[in-house]
Amino acid sequence: MSSIRQALLSLLAREPLSGYDIKQRMNNRLGPFWKVGSNQVYPELARMEEEGLVALQGIEQHDYRPARKLYEITEAGREAVIRWTTEPGGADQYRDDFLLKAYNSWLVDPERMIEGIREMKKQHEEKLAAYEAKVAELTSQLAGRSVADPLFSSISVVEFGVRYERLYVEWCEELIAKLSRREPE
């Protein structure tokens, strides 16, 4: 059930990682695609170690730095991810504050609203550019890979991101067009 547990296991199924690594992948690599705090990562790793889903592979100690605890997934852990991945589940509900703001646009001065939409559009354009770059980067690494390589899965996910951001930007443009048609300066 807990989605964070699944997220951690999904990353560890690919390579051994430390708690810090995991946090970085989630918060930076795929942009704000999935954010977590250290409070969620470290205790969850400890719990999963107790349950035998992950195991401490070793501790790296670089002179002055704090110890780096590398975790690897166990066979039980791998089975758990596979079970979760194949088990049927309902579609998640979509939720976005800005849609609620759009729902209130009738209450607000159109010019003001347009400003806000433009700002939101800009943010999604930036994400779009980042995802597009990521797809290009990953695709260039594709040469000579087996068809069962994790890279194929990664690309599909980032491609979703590209489409999503594209949709968002287009929708913003239409909203702006509708509102300006109504209120010609």
Do 176 and 114 form a contact (C-beta atoms < 8 A)? Answer: yes
Q: Which of residues 61-120 bind DNA (CB under 7 A)?
A: 62, 64-69, 93
Q: List the beta bridge partners of residue 54.
A: 73
| Single-letter residue type at 121 | K
Contact partner at residue 21 from its own copies, DNA, none, CB < 5 to 8 Å by partner kind = DNA
Site string (141-170) toward its own copies, x via CB under 8 A: ------xxxx-xxx-xx-xxx-xx--x--x
**β-bridge pairing 68-73 and 54-60:** antiparallel
Instruction: Based on the shown chain and the rule CB under 7 A, indicate whether residue 60 belongs to the binding site for DNA.
Output: yes
129 binds its own copies (CB under 8 A): no
Indicate whether 75 belongs to the interface with its own copies (CB under 8 A): no
Amino acid in the structure at residue 136:
A
In sequence order, what DSSP letters do the residues of 39-83 get, joined into one string?
Answer: HHHHHHHHHHHHTTSEEEEEEE--TTSPPEEEEEE-HHHHHHHHH
CA 67 to chain centre: 27
| Residue 162 interacting partner from DNA, its own copies, none (CB closer than 5 to 8 Å by kind) | none
Q: Which residues bind its own copies (CB under 8 A)?
A: 3, 6-7, 10, 13, 32-35, 78, 81-82, 84-86, 88-109, 112-113, 116, 119-120, 123-124, 127, 147-150, 152-154, 156-157, 159-161, 163-164, 167, 170-171, 174-175, 178, 182
